[in-house]
């Protein structure tokens, strides 16, 4: 290729670059890079190992980015004492009780992140056992046997409840549910945990007056 054709090719390439607007984009990128380089932190402010004196001047003269550090941290700030420099016998392990006591202290007992309320479920076998022999707080002494016979009785009641369910228990003992239900055959209501507290009273400003224009169903 001759020099004339080479100049024509460069001229054509220049015109095409101007048409597609590439030169302003390149100039914008160069300005961004220069701006980011101007915000670089000085080398003497970094906690890294650097050269001094004439060697620092030579490094800054020959390096592309003079403010870029070596990346090697200062031992006086990060590696003192050095790893393995001290004997393990000189370290006193702090002991905190009862968290530091490993006896009868599994992790799931002190894992407070998962210590959330969990649902308690009762299946039909448990319900049959409660209706037949009662609970631990209120057992039915006339039904529940004592000793080894009572343990065998509980196992047989649980197996019967798992196999046949509540329907078979109600067919066998129709009046067994009456001791559990409340008045009028309704299920028991939850107990009042704060029975001594007085109920609040609404006055005329915050509540209904004695004569209210609308009907209320209380």
Give me the count of residues in the chain. 218
Distance (Å, rounded) from C-alpha 52 to C-alpha 57? 8
Six-digit token string for 125: 């076998």
Question: pLDDT tens digit string along 118-137?
Answer: 788 888 888 888 888 877 77
Question: pLDDT tens digit string along 73-119?
Answer: 776 666 677 778 888 888 887 777 777 777 888 888 778 788 777 78
DSSP assignment, residue 134?
B
pLDDT at 201 over 90: no
Most confident range (mean pLDDT) of 54-58, 95-99, 173-177 is: 54-58
What percent of the chain shows pLDDT beyond 70?
68
* pLDDT tier for residue 54 given thresholds of 50, 70 and 90: very high
Domain residue ranges of the chain, discontinuous segments joined by +: 1-39, 41-83, 124-180
């Amino acid at each position: 290729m001759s020099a004339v054709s080479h100049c024509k090719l460069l001229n054509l390439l220049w015109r095409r670059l101007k048409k597609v607007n590439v030169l302003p984009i390149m100039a914008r990128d160069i300005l961004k890079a220069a701006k980011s380089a101007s915000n670089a932190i000085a080398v003497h402010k970094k906690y890294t190992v650097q050269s001094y004196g004439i060697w620092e001047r030579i490094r800054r003269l020959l390096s592309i980015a003079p403010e870029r550090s070596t990346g090697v941290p200062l031992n006086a700030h990060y590696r003192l004492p050095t790893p393995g420099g001290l004997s393990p016998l000189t370290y006193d392990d702090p002991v905190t009780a009862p968290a530091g006591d490993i006896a009868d202290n599994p992790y799931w007992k002190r894992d407070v992140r998962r210590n959330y309320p969990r649902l308690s479920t009762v299946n039909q076998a448990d319900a049959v056992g409660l209706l037949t022999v009662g609970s631990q707080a209120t057992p039915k002494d006339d039904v529940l046997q004592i000793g080894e016979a009572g343990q065998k009785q509980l196992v047989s009641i649980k197996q019967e409840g798992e196999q046949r369910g509540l329907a078979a228990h109600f067919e066998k003992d129709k009046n067994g549910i009456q001791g559990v239900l409340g008045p009028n055959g309704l299920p028991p209501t939850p107990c009042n945990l704060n029975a001594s507290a007085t109920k609040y009273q609404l006055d005329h400003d915050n509540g209904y007056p004695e004569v209210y224009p609308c009907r209320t169903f209380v």
